[in-house]
């Protein structure tokens, strides 16, 4: 093999089996997302203990519960442009360190003000970690399996939230509520050390930033031994962007702005549904005549419905990904509407809640992979992070929307009908993105970027 060989990094990744090195990257990103889910949900698990130990009312917990959501939005919006400028590895490691330290410190909070502040800081770290884990993982994936692998990694979030619930149920009676936060902080601190020692920089980022050939080669040979003969590395971008453009300029450029807005709108509407139903469904079903225990049991079927995420990723890799996710939102909207119509029949109600959970959670969990595929390397970190950041406000809006509808004494079927409209809006947004981006030819022009001595 000639030593002057030029290697296309994505072609090499596509041609070779998923290596042990790539599985290592996957494992580290998966654990990041797992702990993201654990620490995001932790405040909900300890809330009942806070009420009894600190002798406070439910309303006093509202700032604590919402602080992390605002932090998540801030962390995502700030971290994206930084990762496009400074690299995925640095931002990921620092964000995991940040939410680990803040969560650990939260265990020693003595009042609501301190806990609220620390939950906001925890949220900043969590909000920065998630999009950068998605971005880094997507840039190590073969084209034909990218959505499947990224969606599989994203399954760590609901798994982490569920794991937190099981552990909290055991730990709080034994060790108190602070033990949950100590665990939620200690594991990320250990993980940050592992990331600092073992996590590689994104290979596409290194080529796009024209880093030394030796540095790129040292990573690529861990994917394929063929890379050891390379004298230069190139990559083909499937989208056009001005050379030297920063992440923000790309995301807001004329070629991408409409697609960006549609992604933001879609993710926002998906979280309107998710948080509106997760936070209020137990109360709504109880008011509709179900016992508190049965209302809680039926409502728990909704967040369990993320089981279709990997299947959706496989469909996205095989068919048009915008249409696949749009279909999930459309059928999800129909299922959410059906919840309001099925309250009188417990069997139908459970089926409707579970199916709605599968479809809505699957669509929502597939959005990061969709965004990662839409943007070029120079703007991918910002694009994914801003979609997640803007979307977080949908979670806040969803909770307030259902609260206001309840205050206005809208009927139960009416509430679920209004919430279902959000799914229809998300579906339309993705169809607009598909139609306009295809007609504009955003993905029709390949532009090579090279690195050489």
In this structure, what are the phi and psi dihedrals at residue 142, rounded to the nearest 5 degrees?
A: -70, 150
* Confidence (pLDDT) at 431: 94
Q: Taking the model in full, what pTM does it have?
A: 0.81
The Cβ-side half-sphere exposure at 14, using a 13 Å CA radius, reads 9
- The DSSP letter of residue 17 is P
Token duo for residue 96? 């995991």
Residue in the structure block whose two tokens are 């959005």 = 367
* Full pLDDT tens readout for the chain, 453 residues: 444 488 888 888 888 889 999 999 999 999 998 888 888 777 777 777 887 788 877 667 778 877 888 888 899 888 888 888 888 899 999 999 999 999 999 999 888 899 999 999 999 998 899 889 988 998 899 988 888 898 888 888 878 877 877 788 788 888 988 998 999 999 999 999 999 999 999 888 888 888 888 888 898 888 888 888 888 888 776 555 555 556 788 888 888 899 999 999 999 999 899 888 877 777 788 777 877 777 777 777 777 655 678 888 889 888 999 999 999 999 999 999 999 888 888 889 889 988 998 899 889 888 988 988 888 888 888 888 899 888 888 888 887 888 888 888 888 899 999 999 999 999 999 999 998 875 444 443 333 333 433
What is the DSSP code string of 213-270? Answer: HHHHHHHHTTT-GGGGGEEEEEEEESS---TT--HHHHHTSTTTHHHHHHHHHHHHHH
The pairs formed by 285-292 with CB atoms below 8 angstroms and a separation of 24 or more are 285/343, 285/349, 287/412, 288/343, 288/412, 289/343, 290/346
Please tell me the predicted confidence (pLDDT) of residue 445.
34
User: Scanning the structure block, which residue is given the tokens 């002798």?
Assistant: 55
Residue 440 is predicted with a pLDDT of 43
Q: How many CB atoms lie within 10 A of CB 270?
A: 30
User: What one-character-per-residue DSSP string does 389-445 give?
Assistant: HHHHHHHHHHHHHHHHHHHTT--HHHHHHHHHHHHHHHHHHHHHHHHHHHHHTTTS-
**Predicted local distance difference test score (pLDDT) of residue 424:** 95
Q: How many CA atoms within 13 Å lie on the side-chain side of 409?
A: 0
Cα 70 to the center of its chain, rounded Å:
15
Contacts of 190 (CB under 8 A, 6+ apart): none
Angle between helices 377-407 and 412-440 (to 10 degrees): 160
> What's the pLDDT score for residue 322?
93
Task: Provide the 8-state DSSP code for 177.
Answer: T
Tokens for 261? 């807005």
What structural domains does the chain harbor? 5-208 (1.20.1250.20), 247-440 (1.20.1250.20)
Find where tokens 């915008």 sit: 322
CA dist 205 and 12 (Å) reads 16
Angle at 13 between CA 9 and CA 14, to 5 degrees: 115
Distance in angstroms (rounded) separating the CA atoms of residues 392 and 275: 10
Q: What is the pLDDT of residue 143?
A: 86
Query: Among 425, 424, 417, which Cα is nearest to 401's?
Result: 417
Q: How many CA atoms lie within 13 A of 100 on its CB side?
A: 19
Cβ neighbours of residue 84 closer than 8 Å, sequence gap 6 or more = 246, 247, 378, 379, 380, 381, 382
**42 touches 162 (CB < 8 A):** no
Q: What pLDDT does residue 238 have? A: 59
Q: What's the pLDDT score for residue 240?
A: 55
């Amino acid at each position: 093999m000639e030593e002057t060989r030029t290697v296309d990094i994505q072609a090499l990744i596509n041609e070779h089996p998923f290596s042990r090195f790539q599985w290592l990257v996957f494992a580290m990103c998966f654990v990041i997302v797992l702990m993201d889910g654990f620490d995001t949900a932790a405040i909900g698990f300890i809330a009942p203990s806070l009420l009894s130990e600190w002798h406070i009312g439910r309303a006093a917990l509202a700032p604590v519960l919402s602080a992390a959501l605002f932090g998540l939005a801030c962390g995502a919006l700030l971290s994206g442009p930084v990762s496009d400028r400074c690299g995925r590895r640095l931002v990921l490691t620092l964000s995991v360190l940040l939410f680990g330290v803040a969560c650990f410190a939260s265990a020693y909070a003595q009042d609501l003000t301190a806990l609220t502040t620390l939950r906001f800081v925890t949220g900043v770290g969590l909000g920065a970690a998630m999009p950068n884990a998605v971005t880094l993982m997507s840039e190590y994936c073969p084209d034909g399996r990218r959505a499947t692998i990224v969606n599989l990694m994203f399954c760590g979030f609901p798994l982490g939230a569920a794991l937190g619930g099981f552990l909290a149920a055991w730990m709080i009676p034994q060790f108190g509520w602070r033990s949950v936060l100590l665990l939620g902080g200690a594991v990320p601190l250990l993980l940050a050390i592992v990331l600092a020692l073992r996590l590689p920089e994104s290979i596409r980022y290194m080529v796009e930033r024209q880093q030394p050939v030796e540095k790129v080669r040292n990573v690529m040979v861990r994917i394929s031994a063929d890379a050891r003969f390379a004298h230069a590395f190139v990559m083909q971008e499937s989208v056009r962007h001005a050379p030297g453009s920063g992440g923000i300029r790309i995301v807001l450029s004329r070629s991408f702005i409409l697609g960006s807005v549609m992604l933001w709108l879609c993710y926002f509407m998906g979280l309107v549904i998710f948080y509106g139903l997760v936070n209020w469904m137990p109360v709504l079903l109880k008011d509709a005549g179900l016992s508190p225990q049965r209302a809680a049991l039926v409502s728990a079927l909704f967040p369990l419905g993320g089981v279709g995420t990997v299947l959706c990723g496989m469909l996205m890799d095989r068919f048009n990904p915008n249409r696949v996710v749009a279909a999930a939102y459309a059928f999800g909207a129909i299922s959410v509407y059906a919840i309001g119509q099925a309250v009188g029949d417990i069997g139908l109600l459970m089926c409707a809640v579970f199916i709605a959970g599968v479809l809505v959670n699957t669509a929502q969990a597939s959005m990061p992979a969709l965004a990662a595929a839409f943007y070029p390397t120079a703007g991918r970190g910002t694009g994914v992070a801003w979609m997640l950041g803007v979307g977080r406000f949908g979670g806040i809006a969803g909770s307030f929307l259902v609260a206001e509808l309840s205050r206005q004494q809208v009927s139960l079927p009416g509430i679920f009908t209004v919430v279902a409209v959000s799914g229809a809006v998300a579906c339309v947004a993705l169809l607009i993105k598909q139609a306009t981006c295809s007609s504009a030819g955003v993905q029709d022009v390949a532009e090579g970027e090279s690195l050489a001595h």
